[in-house]
Amino acid sequence: MKKVQLLRVLDKYVNGTACVLLYPFRVLKSKKNVKKEKIVIIKLWALGDSVLTLPLIKALKTKNREITVIATNRNKQIYDNEFIDKILILGKDKIKYKEYDYAIDLEPWLNFSAILSWYCSRKTIGFNGGVRSLLYDITTPFKDEYLAKNYVQMGTVLGVKKYGGLIKIKTKSKLPKEFSDKGLVGICASVGDSMKARMWPISRFAKIADWIIDDLDKEIVFIGATEDKDLIKKIKSNMKSKNKDKKTRSTAGKLNIMQTTKLIENLDLFITNDTGPMHIAAAQNTKTISLFGPSPFKRWAPQGDNFINIHEQTKLWCRPCIVNNKGGKMTDCFNAEYQKCMKLIKIETVKTVIKKLLNKK
């Protein structure tokens, strides 16, 4: 978390200053007539948000148009598909000066990505607001609507017409035998590095897990990365079910992104905080219960009949405290009662929704 905060501070002040200094060069070298044959997409942050960029990218692809994505090691696998011609890894692959006709910067707040888009293209497209927008030739508003739709609107000037739904992630990955069983219920209790306040309390995840095992007679797989091992251990230590060791398993440190995608696709049900695997579940059309608190709900909540998003409507003076289009504002919870908005989500509410999605009375 401290590393992320440091990067945000450096980006705000160092790269923000660079945006202002580069602005005159953008104005002087801006070209009116530019071809639309070589497009570069810039997406460096957030695995889940990367999933939501795919509808735009697929809509941009035409027979005579080359699509390149600049990504990082954390999200590159999401872009391994037939409508993307090339993936460049930031810090590893060479990125040439003014190589592309258009760059679309899909980061909602990074100043660095704006600089990168200016450097590698003749025309730039990005979200409006902040000093970063000085480096864009074309800006679009960051609306309070589903993020995938915000991304799609950025392609209007390049012929993209409307949002047509998420794109299923194709994966040929095989799962270890431990995770190949049918009928599993997945639980993702982690929230990544950016904001721990998005997490539903550990004690409630434990009680829900007990109920799923003992009352619904279902087995559970806890989904997480290597760094989530301790979190999953804490949940299991809070569980009371006598069958918790027999009927639970954990992916922490065992699966890569594509294997995790395959596992989520196979689940009977997925219960998750607002985090990357939630968006993967949305793309794979897996029955999903997402738990929302501090995030702008309309922007990230999955859409469709297979998704139920729990977001208690009680008004809180501090919500939302994650505002990605205003300098990447992601403070930790500052309510007097920590995680107040997540604690509004009751266990009985989640049980009711689980039974609905599993068609149980």
Q: What is the mean pLDDT of each run of 10 residues along the chain (361 residues)?
A: 74 94 86 85 94 98 96 95 96 96 95 97 94 96 94 95 94 93 95 78 97 97 95 97 97 95 97 95 97 87 93 74 55 71 93 92 48
Query: Strand pairing of 220-222 and 248-250?
Result: parallel
- Quick one: fold of 177-357? Rossmann fold (3.40.50)
Tokens of 190: 């982690």
Phi then psi for 271, rounded to 5 degrees? -115, 125
Q: Are 343 and 202 in contact (CB under 8 A)?
A: no
Are the folds of 2-158 and 177-357 the same? Answer: yes
| Residue 336 pLDDT | 63
Tell me how far apart the alpha carbons of residues 18 and 111 are, in angstroms, rounded to a whole number.
Answer: 9
pLDDT at 153: 96
For residue 246, the Cα-to-chain-centroid distance in whole angstroms is: 32
pLDDT of residue 287: 97
End-to-end CA gap in the chain:
42
For the domain made up of 2-158, the CATH class stated in words is alpha beta
Domain spans, the chain? 2-158, 177-357
- What pLDDT is attached to residue 7? 79
User: How many CA atoms lie within 13 Å of 339's alpha carbon, on the beta-carbon side?
Assistant: 15
Q: What is the pTM of this model?
A: 0.92
